Amino acid sequence: MNRRKVRFASYASYLFLLISNAYAQTPAKLSAGYASMSSAHLPIWMAKDTGLLTKNGLDAQIIMLTGNVPIMALVAGDTPISQIAGIGIINSALGGSDTVMIAGGTVTLDWWLMSRPEIKTPAQLKGGAVAISSFGTASDFVARFALQKIGLVADKDVAFVQLGNPATRQAGLESNRVQATVHVPPSTFAAQKKGFNVLV
């Protein structure tokens, strides 16, 4: 784990400690959401698995919610705290919700645009499809950003297919339902080991 991720994990663990101190007088049951199985969501698991939340008066159930569900659960109050990408908070606030971003730890995009083994250049991806989680999520934003970086226009040169979590996106890639997808570690390494290419 590089120094930036360790620092992010430390900041996020401290954030959960601050939140839990507010409940320290009486143990409180709550649900805390996270968006996917990736290294970016390590802090919420560190806080849970090390007993940091329990020690500070929180009986937290950690729940994985994919696609746009994390922000919907946050707005509805089903998960009063959630570790999600900033794009969801921004879109939600623009839509009129009262969600608040307390801290942001990841300051760079640790995503890879990965393609099928036979697609080695951006030109070969033209006319194909890219798998994302769902529209309006971090994977959607990142895929559009990555395509722009390699000179392709989203929804014109490349179609988008909503396939959900990293495992189902990878399955779509392997079955040739889509020709590319975006991944974060550890999915990036697993896909690369299977022979899929890193375009961006």
Is residue 99 included in any domain, yes or no?
no
Q: What is the pLDDT of residue 6?
A: 47
Answer yes or no: do 119 and 44 share one domain: no
Residue type at position 110: D
Answer yes or no: do 81 and 150 share one domain: no
Query: Over the stretch 80-127, which tens digit does the pLDDT of each residue have?
Result: 877 777 777 777 888 888 887 777 666 677 889 999 999 999 999 999
Is residue 107 included in any domain, yes or no?
no
Answer yes or no: do 11 and 79 share one domain: yes
Is residue 106 included in any domain, yes or no?
no
User: The domain spanning residue 14 has which CATH number?
Assistant: 3.40.190
Answer yes or no: do 88 and 26 share one domain: yes
Is residue 105 included in any domain, yes or no?
no
pTM, full prediction = 0.62
Answer yes or no: do 10 and 87 share one domain: yes
The more confident residue out of 50 and 99 is 50
Tell me which residue has tokens 């950003």: 145
Percent of the chain with pLDDT over 70: 82
> Which of 3-12, 35-44, 79-88, 135-144 is the least confident region?
3-12
Lookup: tokens for 181: 């997808």
Q: Is the pLDDT of residue 12 over 70?
A: no
Is residue 27 included in any domain, yes or no?
yes
Answer yes or no: do 18 and 90 share one domain: yes
Answer yes or no: do 26 and 78 share one domain: yes
Answer yes or no: do 132 and 71 share one domain: no
Is residue 26 included in any domain, yes or no?
yes
Query: Over the stretch 149-176, which tens digit does the pLDDT of each residue have?
Result: 999 999 999 999 999 888 899 999 999 9
Q: Is the pLDDT of residue 53 over 50?
A: yes
Average pLDDT score, the chain: 81
User: The domain spanning residue 143 has which CATH number?
Assistant: 3.40.190.10
Tally the domains of the chain. 2
Question: CA-to-CA distance for 200 and 198, rounded, in angstroms?
Answer: 6
Answer yes or no: do 139 and 80 share one domain: no
Is residue 29 included in any domain, yes or no?
yes
Answer yes or no: do 24 and 74 share one domain: yes
CA atoms within 13 A on the CB side of 125: 35
Band the pLDDT of 21: cuts 50, 70, 90.
Answer: low
Q: How far is the CA of 22 from the CAs of 82, 120, 129, 157, in angstroms?
A: 16, 52, 47, 50
Answer yes or no: do 85 and 146 share one domain: no
Answer yes or no: do 88 and 116 share one domain: no
Q: Is the pLDDT of residue 186 over 70?
A: yes
Is residue 103 included in any domain, yes or no?
no
Please give the average per-residue pLDDT across 128-132, as a whole number.
Answer: 96
Q: Which residue range(s) make up the domain with 34?
A: 3-94
Q: Specify the DSSP element, H or E, that contains 55.
A: helix 52-55
Band the pLDDT of 25: cuts 50, 70, 90.
Answer: low
